Amino acid sequence: MPLHIVVGAQWGDEGKGRIVDVFAAQADYVARYNGGDNAGHTVTVGSRIFRLHLVPSGIIHPHTVAVLGNGMVVNPHTLFDEIERLRQAGIAVTPERLRISHAAHLITPAHQALDNALEVARGKGSIGTTGRGIGPVYTDKAARRGLRIEDMLAEDFSERLRAHLDDANRTLRLLTTPELDPQPILSDFTNYASRFLPYVADTSAELHHALNAGKTLLAEGAQGTLLDLDHGTYPFVTSSSTVASGTLTGLGLGLTAACDARVIGVVKAFQTRVGSGPFPTEVSGELATRLRGSGEHPWDEYGTTTGRPRRVGWLDGVLLRYAVRLNGITELTVTKLDVLTGLEPLKICIAYRVSDKTFADLPFGPANLQTYKPVYKELPGWAEDISNVHKWADLPRQAKAYLEFIADLTNLPICLVSVGPERGQVVEKE
């Protein structure tokens, strides 16, 4: 049962999309198991840039079947807009190539309105959500009042949707926020229902049979480990399971599917996060601008979904070791190594200090990082342009030393390194 899982080892935005693109070349199925259009995966192929929010980025390979799993939450407007943009780019998106779980939940304009109203109501305690309705739709799911894809196929769907909108409007009134007009939403979703029908399937059963037949499944997570609802920097987290074990529940797979699974952890050569929450190794000023980029290029550190500038800092080895343990990561891929070119010295956090105590690992998880101060290891930088390097042996000695330090820190092999945004700008380590 060849299951490969690509998981973010930081706060998301690690460059999973382009890593999925690399590994999807050998996959039969590519599947998303969590989240919604709050995710943003970017793949650059020549002069074409694909920004995907719902459809698994592996669909760019023409031989793959893409799956939206039951653990996802789906905004129909975003989905069909994304399908159309892919088709205009020459990517075949048909019901045979795109399968959507009947058990995935629907995001409606009511969820988006509630998301924004609740964030305003939090005031200084705001979480920094994307405003895409992710939290409210997962709240409805947990409260057992959500709308699933399969509800769109029911004869009384309009009544169910109207009841959902009426309930949301009652809450919006309490929050002194303008209410929603149900009629245009009912009209839009009636149209969406007919468009969904060809794509809806029992994806759990399809993936089970595919694995039993010896097919390769590449599972693609959204966000990153440190945004996991249970294991992240709570409450500054997303509303779903972002870790590798979420693959099983998010795709409806049994435990045996994970036997001998390959878990590929994606880590940026430095650290970034979007939104509020603790960030021990965060930097500011000229160094932050240098790491973030100007925003002139799609690969600069600005959110694919929100456009917000990302907070940036040095690589945090304490949190990386935590992510390795939590996910059962078997190998690492390191992205954006080229961004560190010209910086001297480089730093990696190897421990935390509180008062007179030093911690190599987190004593109680990452929820309360505010009191920790990073302990750094300094490493020499390099000045050579590495964007055209394709072999490990051709990397500067200091770049290899930096990567080898990460490997030693995590006790894991590094299988792949990106040295630029293009599909071919990767270095494989034999």
Rounded to whole angstroms, the Cα distance separating 147 from 115 reads 17
Structure tokens given for 419: 């040295």
Residues found in the chain: 430
CB atoms within 10 A of CB 213: 9
Active site residues: 13, 41
Structure tokens given for 136: 């409210």
Report the amino acid identity of residue 278: P
Rounded to whole angstroms, the Cα distance separating 410 from 321 reads 6
Report the amino acid identity of residue 198: P
Q: Where do we find the tokens 């919006």? A: 172
Structure tokens given for 241: 């399971």
Q: Which residues contact 132 (CB under 8 A, 6 or more apart)?
A: 36, 37, 38, 75, 107, 112, 115, 305
DSSP code of 345? S
Q: Which residues contact 78 (CB under 8 A, 6 or more apart)?
A: 37, 53, 54
Q: Which residues contact 124 (CB under 8 A, 6 or more apart)?
A: none
Report the amino acid identity of residue 22: V
Structure tokens given for 396: 């500067």
Go through 118-128 and write b for each residue having 16 or more CB atoms within 10 A of its CB, e for each that does not: bbeeeeeeebe
- Angle (deg, nearest 10), helices 157-174 and 109-122: 20
